[in-house]
Amino acid sequence: MMLDPYEIRKDFPILKRKINNHPLIYFDSAATSQKPRQVIEAIKNFYENCNANVHRGVHTLSQEASELYENAHEEVAKFINAKGMEEIVFVRGTTEAINLVAYAWALRSLKREDEVLVTLMEHHSNIVPWESLSKINGFQVKYVGVNNDGTLNYEVFENAISERTRIVCLPHISNVTGGINDVKKVVKMAHEHGALVLVDGAQSVPHLPVDVKDLDIDFLAFSGHKMLGPTGIGVLYGKHEILEEMEPFHGGGAMIKEVSFNTITRRCSISWNDLPWKFEAGTPNICGGVGLMAAIKYLKGIGMEAVRAHERMLTGYAMRRMKECEKVRVYGPKDASAKCGIIPFNVDELSSHDVALFFDSHAIMIRSGFHCAQPLHEKFKLKSSARASFYIYNTREEIDRFIEVLKEIAGF
């Protein structure tokens, strides 16, 4: 199953841009993807024809907006094979989804003797909330190291899980190396010790089929903007029974069923709304949900197996061609089939920012820095790295152009 990137590119207006008289080549989709016309039009249509607040009015516009917003939850649920929309909470992105688990579940559940197990390949958003919360609750954040190529050592991981482990957190795919973790294997280890599992799916849900029932994960966090959708919208999937037991993360309108003042106690009694609304306080990002729904429909039209196959082809081709470049060091797994479309690299004696700026002068957009994963860079003994990342609209010809410029940089 292969997609046609040349047909797909016609749906992305931004790819028609030129920078410094060079055609734009966008190799930074791991940071954020570009948006097809179908998503842009869906957002535009909402604001032009259906704009109203949801779940707050009986008038036509409010009913239409509410239906669209609820349909977006249903579409996400089907996309990852959740039981239903009750398990789909809309948030601002992966970061807020992880924080929701930390402050709505862990804050009330974890005690001093408990442990949270994370890996050294985490994005900072799956490190900082746990470290911050541990200062409040006193639990220990325990880190599992990685192999020299940045892959997970499953034997070490299994030995690190103990009866004190309450939750295991790991990325489905490393945003630095693109390495794909065997989530199903980790979930089995964790559940055998009675621990929950939180998966950072920011780099997996946009790029390969993800089935939460098959993986048996307890929480899945991912962002809309990395999968053709708008910024400011993301998803926390949680098993129904776990979300039901959790207390809300934010308080305010929409997340309550009833607020009643007791004249005897002089206090208000509050009952929470049904799932998933009890976790969506205030006016939500309605157009973000509409845009995400359009993005998912676009990806389903292509087929996630086809998305995965295209990226695997591009990644293998790019890695083979990068071997032609002297002074270029590529990090992470060497097997393209074990990776998503992400390639971290450096050029000897040049900073990653210098490399990125030179590529930019040729209208090739790549990332440079720590990619919000400094501990993994420390493992690699790197001050930073450059990163090329691919998606459905990239082509072999763009990689050929990338290699031309890379050879020029390496010749400095």
pLDDT, tens digit, 9 for 90 and up, residues 147-178: 999 999 999 999 999 999 999 999 999 999 99
Q: How far apart are CA 275 and CA 140, in angstroms?
A: 31
Cβ(202)–Cβ(171) below 8 Å: yes
Residue with tokens 């055998």: 192
Query: pLDDT at position 154, please?
Result: 94
b (16+ CB within 10 A) / e for 197-234: bbbbbbbbbbbbebebeebebbbbbbbbbbbbbbbbbb
Q: What is the DSSP letter of 112?
A: T
Q: Are 330 and 112 in contact (CB under 8 A)?
A: no
| Catalytic hit among 50, 287, 325, 372 | 372
Distance, in Å, from the CA atom of 268 to the CA atom of 37, rounded to the nearest integer, reads 48
* Closest alpha carbon to 296 in 225, 229, 208: 229
Q: Is the dihedral of CA 282, 236, 144, 187 positive or negative?
A: positive
Tell me the sheet residues that pair with 222.
235
Give the whole-angstrom CA distance, residue 233 versus residue 93: 5
Regions in the chain scoring below 70 on pLDDT: 1
pLDDT at 257: 86
The answer to whether residues 376 and 121 touch, using CB atoms and an 8 Å cutoff, is yes
User: How far are the Cα atoms of 133, 191, 238 from residue 162, in angstroms, in the given order?
Assistant: 20, 11, 23
Q: According to the model, what pLDDT value does residue 271 have?
A: 87
Distance (Å, whole) CA 271 – CA 255? 9
C-alpha–C-alpha distance, residues 252 and 58, integer Å: 21
Q: What is the pLDDT of residues 288-314, one digit of tens each?
A: 999 999 999 999 999 999 999 999 999
Distance CA 323, CA 331 (A): 12
CATH code for the structural domain at 303-410: 3.90.1150.10
Residues 283, 53: contact at Cβ < 8 Å?
yes
Helix (H) or strand (E) holding 314, with range, is helix 304-322
Q: Are 24 and 14 in contact (CB under 8 A)?
A: yes
Q: Which of 169, 123, 124 is nearest to 142 (CA)?
A: 169
pLDDT the model gives residue 258 = 86
Supply the pLDDT for residue 366.
98
- Position 263 scores a pLDDT of 81
169 is an active site residue: no
pLDDT on residue 262: 84
Compute the distance between CA of residue 355 and CA of residue 360 in angstroms, rounded to an integer.
Answer: 9
Contact 66, 96 (CB under 8 A): no
- Residues 59 and 304: their CA atoms lie apart, in Å, by 38
SS3 of 345, please? strand
Would you put residue 402 in left (φ > 0), alpha (ψ -120 to 50) or beta? alpha
Q: What are the residue ranges spanned by the domains of the chain?
A: 40-300, 303-410
**Helices in 128-239 by DSSP H: which ranges?**
128-137, 154-160, 183-192, 212-215
How many C-beta atoms lie closer than 10 Å to residue 357's C-beta? Answer: 12
pLDDT value at residue 39: 98
Amino acid 286 reads: I
Residue 7, helix vs strand vs coil: helix
Residue 132: closest CA among 95, 164, 162 = 95
Residues in the chain: 412
CATH architecture assignment, domain 40-300:
3-Layer(aba) Sandwich (3.40)
Q: Which phi and psi angles does 135 have, rounded to 5°?
A: -75, -20
In angstroms, the CA 33 to CA 247 distance is 33
Question: Looking at residue 324, what is its pLDDT?
Answer: 95
How far, in Å, CA of 315 to CA of 209, rounded? 18
How many beta carbons lie within 10 A of that of residue 49, not counting itself? 10
pLDDT at 265: 86
pTM metric for this prediction: 0.96
Give how far Cα 389 sits from Cα of 262, 341, 404, Å. Answer: 57, 5, 17
